[in-house]
Amino acid sequence: MLKNFKKKSLKAKVGIVAAALTIILLLVYVVYSNFKPEPPVEYDMTQVTYGTITDSLDVSGTVESGLTENFLAIQGVVVEEVLVDVGDSVKKGDKIATFDVSSATEYLNKAKSEYDKALQEYNDTISSSQTNANRKEAIKVEIEKLSSQISAKEKEVAQLTEQIENSTTGETAPIPDEQIDMIAMQMLSNGASLMQVIEFKKAASQVELPVVDEATQAKQTELMQKNLELAQLNSQLSALYAEDVTTMATDSSIIDALKAMMDAKKVEYDKVKTAYDAMKNGWYAQNDGIVSAVNIKAGEPFVPVKESSSSAIDISSLLGGSVDSDTANLISGLLNGSSTPLGSGVIVESYDNMIVSVTVGKSDLLKVKKGMKAEITSLDSKYEGEIIYVGAKAADSSGGIDLGSITSLIGGSSGASGAVVKIKINNPDSKIVVGFDVDIKIILGTLENVLTVPVESVIYNSGVYSVFVYDKEEGTASKRKITKGLLDDTNYEVILGLTEGEYVIKSPDPNMEDGTAVKEKNA
């Protein structure tokens, strides 16, 4: 083959060599293409450092005025002049409206009368209950005294009976009429009725007693007298037992219910009196603010907006039938009777004292405390705030009778799904509007100087949290389990698994294998 190659011309020789080189290069390229290593994947890296974690609770709520002046008017009062309209700004001391209150006097008197009636019924019930309690105590003492007297009298009767039986001769004779008449006179003098005396004389005339000497006759007469006295004592005891049964102290639940009614009517009367006095003197703003509602019109009598009312309440069924009909009718009348009509005439909202009301779930209730800081976001603006109130449930501020205070007396219950929390906005401006929904971040606590990694670096799978740690020298990433702590918007607290200064992949592929070659972007 070499001899043949030498015989070739130079041109042919060059062609053969070129072809051979081309084949060799093609073979080298194919081998390299199939076996060359994959280039490392580029990732953003972040260093594990110590920092601050802020634990927070994200909720949303509605903006309210922390100071609302609700000017209440009584139905029928004639409005003389109205000096404001919705949207007007008012200063403290500005006049709002004036009234002719003469037509509202009857409602004031009605509220006072209803309160007086409830107060009188409560006081009468207390007095009656105390009287009955005192009488029951006296009856107890009298029963003990009579029982002792009866016991002593029974012993005397037994002794006389034995003495008479031991002195009889065996002969019998009717009771002498003079003895019967004498006993009958004594019965009348002791309060027996004429019919009782007649029955006694009829029965005594048919009785024959053993014939005895004069001494024994005297004992027989004494025995009859003592039997009569014993019968009268037993009659008195029976009467006391009957009186004890009918003399009942008023049940405490009824007294508590009447007390609740009295307190409710007092609140209602005070509210009407306050509204009446305010209208009599004219309405004046107590604070700077903005008028949010005007429900009165000059020259017209005031008509409050009607609210839906529940059906009449059967107090007897509420209290389990433990009240008499008169008391049940009274309490039902107090509950179901129409209260004095009051309504909002003008509402002024103070924009210097804005709050947000939110409802926090039961699971977060124990985390939230008065005084905690908060961040409020409204229309892309952020405001600082502070929790000023944490309650078990929202309160009814309507001023009506609270049936909860009555049903609680008979074992009723109520509950709430969470806690009402109020947050004061420290620096409100025109972007904070009453009635708007806003986002709130309640700051539950802050941890200083803790090891942190970005949220996007952490992979979660089947209850395990892990990160990919970058080895600069090897140019590889290894998966490592971590124990996390608190979380905020950007970082996890790392309790175990990492040390300060290590690098982790910022947004790793969760399916990456251990030892994968990686490269830091822009390195």
Lowest mean pLDDT among 69-83, 395-409, 470-484: 395-409
| Position 159 pLDDT exceeds 80 | yes
Q: Is the pLDDT of residue 510 over 70?
A: yes
How many other β-carbons are positioned within 10 Å of the β-carbon of residue 147?
13
- In CATH terms, the fold of domain 42-55+447-520 is 2.40.420
386 and 395 Cβ atoms separated by less than 8 Å: no
Q: Please tell me the predicted confidence (pLDDT) of residue 312.
A: 46
Q: What percent of the chain has pLDDT over 90?
A: 26
- Domain borders along the chain are 2-35, 42-55+447-520
pLDDT band per the 50, 70, 90 thresholds, residue 405: very low
- Predicted confidence at residue 325, as pLDDT, reads 60
pLDDT at 460: 92
Phi/psi at 322 (5° precision): -90, 10
Q: Tell me which residue of 319, 244, 263 sits closest to 121, measured CA to CA.
A: 263
Nearest in space to 374 (alpha carbons), one of 426, 420, 418, 419: 426
pLDDT at 518 over 50: yes
- pLDDT surpasses 60 at 452: yes
Cα 79 to Cα 171: distance, rounded to the nearest angstrom: 106
Beta strands (DSSP E) in 166-267 are 172-174, 208-210
